[in-house]
């Protein structure tokens, strides 16, 4: 990291969206800035602060601040509808953020506001105080590429199922390979409005921490995961410091240590997905019928079921081979690190299909090639974030430009 950037303090407010998945990438980015000794304020939503950080002093080095989404007792579950929640979050959240920024400004700080792309109203608050701002897109560049072209009207919806979609920088995509908000277009969806409109005012941000450098002042960083799994420059940085459930880490580690290397499949639907009962059944039957050990279902000799686990520790274990990248097209066809199970006429991946994919991944020739590609990308990721890597240089440049202002 640039030594000159460590001699001057750059206070910053990091504002993630109140959900585990998009929140997680903000944490390593914040810690990287803290590595350069820049004062850090992590602004969280009151309900989620209590849930995610039950012991905040031991889980984060940032000064934890709270803003309100208007539903401090129950979050989105307290709201009568998603639309009402998002509208209220916009109005109440904006006012709450104004109060927080004013408090910092009154103490003599001129903080930089780093906000999640879904919270586009945060930019208006930054402009109100005349402070620098950076929008942080936590979804993949490929997904943002699709949403950008929809937001600008270049990719017009709805799309016919048989249409192939050609976008700059991406392979030819079938409609079924696009994000579900696009392939299953519902114009009245409140979340569709939030996701697509995140590009509506991005031209006003000082920095865009993601993609599209031909349009905006932009850079790519990451992978944004804890340092222990990449460059190891931050001591004891092994997790994001937050969980929506209590992880059963010891049980997972003990069970994994008793299995042969490369023999375990990790199964997770994340914190938001709600698979149908028939989908769960097909997957469970496939796992039980395969030759794989697996961390998910209830057969004690071949599998382990837990309510929640430390995903990073499990995925870094020598025994585990899997991936959870949502864009299956890139996983299989571009990066070569996975196999897509094709769905039948009822839009269901059957147990036979899943079992065939599992056995090919763990025991087949395709699986050997995939494991080699996974190691290649893992090494490239480490190289990107280590000192002097492209991500490290981009963060240095980001800080230097802000300090100039």
Domain count, the chain: 2
Same domain, 192 and 225: yes
Same domain, 256 and 350: yes
Asked if the structure places residue 58 within a domain, the reply is yes
Same domain, 261 and 210: no
Asked if the structure places residue 190 within a domain, the reply is yes
**Sheet strands side by side (includes 264-266):** 264-266, 293-295, 303-304
Task: Please check whether residue 150 is in contact with residue 175, taking contact to mean a CB–CB distance below 8 angstroms.
Answer: no
**Sheet strands side by side (includes 40-45):** 63-67, 40-45, 12-15, 112-116, 133-136, 207-209, 218-219
Asked if the structure places residue 240 within a domain, the reply is no
Q: Output the domain CATH number for residue 268.
A: 3.40.50.2000
Tokens of residue 267, six digits = 């199964």
Decide if pLDDT at 8 tops 60: no
pLDDT tens digits for range 40-69: 555 655 544 444 444 554 445 557 788 888
Same domain, 27 and 159: yes
Same domain, 16 and 46: yes
Q: Print the domain residue range for 340.
A: 249-381
pLDDT tens digits for range 237-287: 666 555 555 566 788 888 888 888 878 888 877 655 667 788 888 988 998
Rounded distance between C-alpha atoms, residue 132 and residue 185, angstroms: 35
Same domain, 210 and 75: yes
Instruction: State CA 262 to chain mean position distance.
Output: 25
Same domain, 66 and 178: yes
Asked if the structure places residue 80 within a domain, the reply is yes
pLDDT tens digits for range 177-228: 888 888 888 888 888 888 888 888 887 877 665 545 655 666 777 777 666 6
Asked if the structure places residue 243 within a domain, the reply is no
Return the higher-pLDDT residue of 44 and 293.
Answer: 293
Asked if the structure places residue 166 within a domain, the reply is yes
The separation between the first and the last C-alpha atoms of the chain, rounded to the nearest angstrom, is 20
Task: Please check whether residue 287 is in contact with residue 305, taking contact to mean a CB–CB distance below 8 angstroms.
Answer: no
Asked if the structure places residue 241 within a domain, the reply is no
Please state, in angstroms and as integers, the Cα–Cα distance from residue 380 to each residue in 209, 223, 231, 375, following that order: 20, 10, 11, 9
Which pLDDT score, from 0 to 100, does residue 55 have?
52
Task: Please check whether residue 149 is in contact with residue 182, taking contact to mean a CB–CB distance below 8 angstroms.
Answer: no
Same domain, 157 and 268: no
- What secondary structure letter does DSSP report for 89? H
Same domain, 147 and 97: yes
Same domain, 393 and 356: no
Asked if the structure places residue 244 within a domain, the reply is no
Same domain, 348 and 271: yes
Tokens of residue 89, six digits = 């979050």
Q: What is the pTM of this model?
A: 0.76
Alpha helices in 203-304 (DSSP H): 249-257, 277-289
Rounded distance between C-alpha atoms, residue 22 and residue 232, angstroms: 23
Tokens of residue 119, six digits = 């919270």
Rounded distance between C-alpha atoms, residue 355 and residue 291, angstroms: 9
Half-sphere exposure for 152 (CA within 13 Å, toward CB): 12
Same domain, 198 and 271: no
Which pLDDT score, from 0 to 100, does residue 27 have?
64
């Amino acid at each position: 990291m640039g030594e000159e950037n460590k001699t001057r303090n750059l206070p910053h407010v990091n504002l993630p969206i109140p959900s585990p998945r998009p929140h997680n990438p903000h944490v390593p980015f914040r810690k990287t800035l803290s590595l350069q000794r820049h004062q850090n304020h992590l602004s969280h939503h009151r309900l989620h602060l209590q849930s995610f950080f039950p012991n905040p002093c031991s889980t984060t080095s940032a000064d934890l601040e709270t803003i309100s989404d208007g539903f401090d007792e129950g979050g989105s579950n307290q709201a009568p509808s998603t639309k009402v929640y998002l509208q209220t979050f916009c109005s109440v959240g904006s006012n709450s953020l104004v109060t927080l920024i004013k408090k910092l400004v009154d103490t003599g700080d001129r903080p930089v506001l780093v906000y999640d792309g879904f919270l586009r109203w945060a930019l208006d608050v930054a402009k109100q105080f005349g402070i620098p701002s950076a929008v942080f897109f936590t979804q993949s560049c490929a997904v943002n590429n699709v949403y950008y072209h929809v937001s600008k009207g270049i990719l017009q919806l709805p799309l016919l199922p048989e249409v192939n979609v050609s976008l700059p920088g991406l392979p030819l995509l079938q409609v079924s390979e696009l994000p579900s908000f696009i392939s299953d277009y519902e114009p009245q969806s409140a979340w569709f409005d939030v996701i697509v409109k995140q590009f509506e005012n991005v031209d006003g941000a000082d920095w865009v921490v993601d993609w599209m450098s031909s349009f905006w002042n932009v850079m790519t960083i990451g992978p944004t995961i804890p340092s222990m799994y990449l460059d190891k420059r931050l001591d004891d940085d092994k997790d994001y410091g937050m969980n929506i459930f209590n992880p059963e880490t010891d049980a997972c580690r003990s069970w994994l240590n008793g299995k042969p290397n490369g023999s375990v499949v990790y199964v997770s639907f994340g914190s938001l997905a709600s698979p149908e009962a028939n989908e769960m059944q097909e997957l469970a039957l496939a796992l039980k019928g395969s030759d794989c050990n697996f961390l998910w279902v209830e057969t004690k000799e071949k599998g382990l079921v837990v309510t929640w686990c430390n995903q990073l520790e499990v995925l870094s274990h020598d025994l585990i081979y899997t991936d959870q990248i949502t864009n299956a097209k890139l996983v299989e066809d571009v990066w070569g690190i996975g196999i897509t199970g094709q769905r039948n006429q009822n839009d269901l991946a059957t147990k036979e299909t899943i079992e065939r994919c599992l056995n090919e991944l763990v025991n087949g020739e395709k699986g050997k090639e995939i494991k080699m590609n996974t190691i290649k990308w893992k090494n490239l990721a480490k190289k990107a974030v280590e000192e002097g890597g492209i991500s490290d240089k981009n963060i240095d440049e980001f800080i230097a430009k802000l300090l100039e202002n």
